[in-house]
Amino acid sequence: MNVPFRIARRYLWARKSQRLIHLVSGISVVVVAAVCAAMIAILSAFNGIEELVEELFSSLDTELAVLPAEGRVIDAAWVDTLSALPGVAWAGGVLEQDVVVRRQGEPVVCTLLGFDVDHAEQTGLNGRLRRGDVLRPDTLGSACGYVGLGVASQLRIPVQPDAPATLMVGAPKRGRSLSSARGWSPDAGLDRMLVSERLSVCGTFSVNADIDARHIIAPLGFAQTVLQRPGKVSRIELVPAAGWSPEELRESIDARWPGEVLTRTRREKNALIHSTSRAEKWATFAILSFILVVAAFNILAALTMLLLDKRRDIGTLSAMGMTPRDIRRVFSWQGFLINAVGAAAGLALGLTLVWLQDRYGLVRLQGAMVPAYPVSLRTGDVLGVLGMVLGVGGTFSAAMVAYLVRRMAPDAA
């Protein structure tokens, strides 16, 4: 039987001689609970943002991509080669490069994405179309494409035009740099620097503010013509077959063609965004962890007042044969129990807040792509928060008790 624990549990709930001790202990529990709940809620919010970013960027990318080991393009024949590889359910080429787009007024520099219609069906792009029909062979099969909402705004494309808008899409002639075309006008000789083609606007799409402001989509053949890259693609997007994970398919490709091609997962292609999100998440976690120091000082006050209140009990326990170590353990358990009760209350409160936000969207976002702030609860985060609260609180309590017992009850030290 753990006598120090039983005595500490009794001290936690038993009536004290002074109400102030109850008040200070209650404040300590509330502070620990608030910090614990805040940690769970904020970490869940960061998880929700990370998953939302992953979902948004998956609108244009598949889970795995094959890139050239050298240079900017790879032969489009690799599409057929990879399609025949075991573990590949679908493969499609993508050609990407900056271009100059004009409709009225000054030219706008955008990023042209050229791919086949099947690419949209393998990603979430169809669900991101804001105007126009879904991507079909009879639209993308001709010189007809889609523009981001930001690009549409810059080019003054009407939301509901009576007739399809037509864009002039141009790319620098081979050997010239696009940076030299920025700010030029047709009268200044821009047309002589570019290879241009007409592109009808079938509709608009919206993925996120950054992509919407600088991307247009066109058929792969159109992109190869404008960019003067016949039979070439920038990368090949792959969808793993059933029973294959992206990592397994990646290992198979790397083993079969070492040094000839490079493989990148969707997370690696957006590594900067994910690393930034994770850095913000753990920086916030560290800041909230420091707030536990405030709770620790509250626990210090509670333990100090409890020792003063129970000084006579310490003498009684010593007379009954308890060792100084056991007496210190009584008050160490007292501090740990204050942390445990606060952590349990904070856990319940945090889980409730996350559930309410996920179910009912208490915190709304006006004008955003999602109606409410996204949240996602992960078991690892919950265990990490509990470990931090109980570990820091328990260690701090044990150190404080050893000091207080020596100062206030030297006979028990």
Summarize pLDDT for 2-27 with one digit per residue, the tens: 766 677 666 666 555 456 666 777 77
> Which tokens sit at 272?
């900067």
> Which tokens sit at 401?
């008790």
For 199, the enclosing helix (H) or strand (E) is strand 194-205
Q: What is the mean pLDDT of the chain?
A: 79
Query: Which regions of the chain are under pLDDT 50?
Result: 1, 17, 183-187
Q: Is 6 left (phi over 0), alpha (psi -120 to 50) or beta?
A: alpha
The CA distance from 74 to 345, in Å, is 57
The gap between the terminal CA atoms of the chain, to the nearest Å, is 23
Torsion of CA 263, 266, 268, 271, to 10 degrees: 160
Cα 308 from chain centre: 49
What pTM, to 2 d.p., does this model score?
0.67
Of the candidates 296, 291, 289, the one whose C-alpha atom is nearest the C-alpha of residue 396 is: 296
Helix axes 311-319, 271-309, angle to 10 degrees: 80
In the prediction, which pLDDT does 384 show?
Answer: 87
What 3-state class would DSSP assign to 284? helix
In the prediction, which pLDDT does 133 show?
Answer: 60
In the prediction, which pLDDT does 186 show?
Answer: 47
Cα angle value 71/189/222 (rounded, 5°): 45
Task: Establish how many alpha carbons lie within 13 A of residue 325's alpha carbon, considering only the half-sphere containing its beta carbon.
Answer: 0
In the prediction, which pLDDT does 149 show?
Answer: 87
Q: Residue 202 corresponds to which amino acid?
A: C
